[in-house]
Structure 1
Amino acid sequence: MKRAWINRYKRGLSMSQTFKSISLVTIMLLSALSGMVVASDFAEANTVVITEPQQIVDGGSASDTQTAIVADSQGNVHIIWARNNLHLYYSMVASNGEILIDATQITNAGIHKVWHPDVVADADDNIHLVWTDKSGTHKIMYTALSPYKIQPFNGQSSTDNSITGIDDTIIAQRAQDRDWASIDVDSQGNIHIAWQDEYDSEEKFFNQPQIYYSMIQPDFVTNNIIVLFDDTLITPIIGHKGHPDIVVDANDQVQIAWDDTRGGKVELVFVIDTSGSMYSEWADVCTVIYGGTFSDGSS
């Protein structure tokens, strides 16, 4: 049984996955005004939807999935998605629905296996993305876009080189698998990234995925990043951790939530050799279940 945990240390709103085309609908959230009494718990569609669904891209025979979206300070929205899980694409749409930048490939040429992108906009309207590249050894990737540097917008597709501020950069790549990166930005423009990772340098967690964290500083002068905190394990306890989400509050405190099997009800079945040849291995099994110290003195 997985339970929600939060650690005090935003991601773009994910849209429903679709095939062949991606659509956008603008939702108006009604604020509760002072003295206003809401008569019903339910809202009619025409009271919250202020535009008809708008097709952002028609990929034809391609499969466009895993959409993420974020709005900038000027009310424009930035949409990213995976095409055939091979490349990331990007589009920029004005608040009135006008296409400012049409579908543009933003991953470098080559073989990729793109999964679970996430996106955030900073105070200068640069767009920061993370995703997992599962080609070869799994990698957590980061890219920054500066779409406003190509003004005026003409509604056409751009190029990766034209809008990229910081090129595809590896945040984490080691043995074992990793996935589900999440990203947010603080008031200083620093980027905070969390993801699940099966890397286990101490071989204590039996390759169960844990939550890792990294903090970087984008440098748009050198078009590179400065690593402030490298890969940091924040869940050093046995159990299956997954699907983290990260947010930075107004005080620049970083908070991460994830699902976790600790405290859950798990049925364990062991095949035990009762001939007496297991020696300390049997004691180590008890340590795994109940805690304590392993036969080699570690814990």
Structure 2
Amino acid sequence: MSVREINSYHAAAILVTILLFSITAPIHITHHTVIDTPVERHFTANNTANDTTVQTLMSNMNIYDPAEVTGVIDDLNRVHLVWVQDNYSTSLNYALFDYTGNPLISTTPIPSNASSSITSPAMVIDSQERAHIVWESTGTEIRYALIDPDLDNQDGSAGDIANMTLQPSIALADGAGTRSDPDIAVDSFDAVHVVWVDTQDPLGILYSSPNIYYTMLAFDSSSGFMTVIGQTMVTQTVSQTGHPAISVGANNTVVVVWEDTRGSVIEYVGILDTSGSMNTEWADMCVVF
């Protein structure tokens, strides 16, 4: 047997031995235990304020629960707040804080000219740091106001609302029907888009069912306040729509979503003979309806 053949034989024997040991050896499975790290809680969406700051904001507002509060952070990291206090629901209030919680404008009532109590305030801040505010005058009106907090000296006291107001409270929707749940968004041209729920039925064919309405508003220093698109029905259904929300995309596309029932309040529609020939069959139809 040559040397090469002997080496080949030895290599084959070693390989077989390794395979036999690998088959008979016990199998050990290593378990890797992953422990999730505790989720850190933040008191604001971008973690710009801690618990102490939040408590400062609440105390500086000098309000008591329950209250409807909405807040927006602008490009300067200032916090704009609008709220309605439940024990004084005819008063709409505004305040402005810096990012550390120090008041720049303390509690400032916004003249609402509301015919009833106020609820559901919503607010958006445009590129010029102006606050566009909408709210519901319970069941009767959807109202809007525009204020510019930069027109105040921001010394921490109540704001000079007469000087801050660019558009006093105005009714966007009123008249026949009931209305509720306003929401507002702003586009890249600082025009605002508003949606709400309204039972107004101009043609009298929707049985006063709640539907979604929309309007578009604009303001500039030369032309002042203007309605770009008047009250427009987004939905025309005999169902129970509600809780609309509106948003504007980067290309100024307006998106509206809402809650709706799956069916209609009209359970059945049929053709009936009114010639008088049905006689007692009318009683059967009444049982069906």
TM-score category of the 2 structures, normalised to the smaller one: 0.7 to 0.9
User: 1:256 and 1:112 mapped to 2: Cα distance?
Assistant: 28
The secondary structure found in structure 1 opposite 2:93 is strand
Question: Are 2:141 and 1:142 aligned?
Answer: no
User: 2:215 and 2:137 mapped to 1: Cα distance?
Assistant: 17
Moved more, 102-111 or 38-47: 38-47
One-letter code aligned to 2:142: I
**Contact 2:185-2:194 at 8 Å conserved across structures:** yes
Consecutive unaligned residues of structure 2, counting only runs of 5 or more, are 1-33, 270-277
User: 1:176 and 1:275 mapped to 2: Cα distance?
Assistant: 39
One-letter code aligned to 1:40: D
Offset, 1:42: 5.7
Question: Are 2:111 and 1:107 aligned?
Answer: yes
What is the root-mean-square deviation of aligned Cα atoms in Å?
3.2
Consecutive unaligned residues of structure 1, counting only runs of 5 or more, are 1-37, 287-299
Paired residue for 1:296? none
Deviations 1:66-94 (A, max 9, x none): 10001111110100001321010000010
Identity of aligned residues (%): 26
Offset, 1:138: 0.8
Q: Which structure carries more helix by proportion?
A: 2
Deviations 1:17-61 (A, max 9, x none): xxxxxxxxxxxxxxxxxxxxx97386133797651132232236x
The secondary structure found in structure 1 opposite 2:132 is strand
Paired residue for 1:45? 41
Paired residue for 1:292? none
Offset, 1:98: 0.6
Question: Are 2:121 and 1:117 aligned?
Answer: yes
User: 2:123 and 2:179 mapped to 1: Cα distance?
Assistant: 18
Shift in CA distance, 64/156, structure 1 to aligned 2, threshold 3 Å: farther
Paired residue for 1:171? 172
Structure 2 length-normalised TM:
0.72
Deviations 1:231-261 (A, max 9, x none): 0001112211001010001000000110011
Give the total of aligned pairs: 236
User: 1:251 and 1:226 mapped to 2: Cα distance?
Assistant: 22
Deviations 1:118-165 (A, max 9, x none): 00000010110000113xx711101011000123x2100123212211
One-letter code aligned to 2:41: A
Offset, 1:267: 10
The secondary structure found in structure 1 opposite 2:89 is coil
One-letter code aligned to 1:86: T
> Max radius of gyration: which structure?
2
Shift in CA distance, 199/274, structure 1 to aligned 2, threshold 3 Å: farther
Question: Are 2:94 and 1:90 aligned?
Answer: yes
